[in-house]
Amino acid sequence: MSERRLLAVLALLLGLVGALLVLINFRLPRENQDFVVWLGGIAVDAVLALVAIGGSLLIYGSKYRAGGIINVVAGIAILIVTSTTSGLLIIFSGVLGLVAAGTFDEYRYTRRR
Q: What per-residue confidence (pLDDT) applies to 28?
A: 84
Q: What per-residue confidence (pLDDT) applies to 9?
A: 92
- The answer to whether the beta carbons of residues 74 and 89 sit under 8 Å apart is no
Q: What per-residue confidence (pLDDT) applies to 18?
A: 93
pLDDT tens string, the chain, 113 residues long: the values are 678 889 899 999 999 999 999 999 888 888 888 989 889 989 999 999 999 999 999 999 988 889 999 999 999 999 999 878 889 999 999 999 999 888 765 555 566 55
Q: What per-residue confidence (pLDDT) applies to 90?
A: 93
Q: What per-residue confidence (pLDDT) applies to 74?
A: 94
CA distance 86 to 18: 5
With helix as H, strand as E and coil as C, how does the chain read? CCHHHHHHHHHHHHHHHHHHHHHHCCCCCCCCCCHHHHHHHHHHHHHHHHHHHHHHHHHHCCCHHHHHHHHHHHHHHHHHHHCCCHHHHHHHHHHHHHHHHHCCCHHHCCCCC
Q: What per-residue confidence (pLDDT) applies to 110?
A: 62
So where are the chain's domains?
3-104
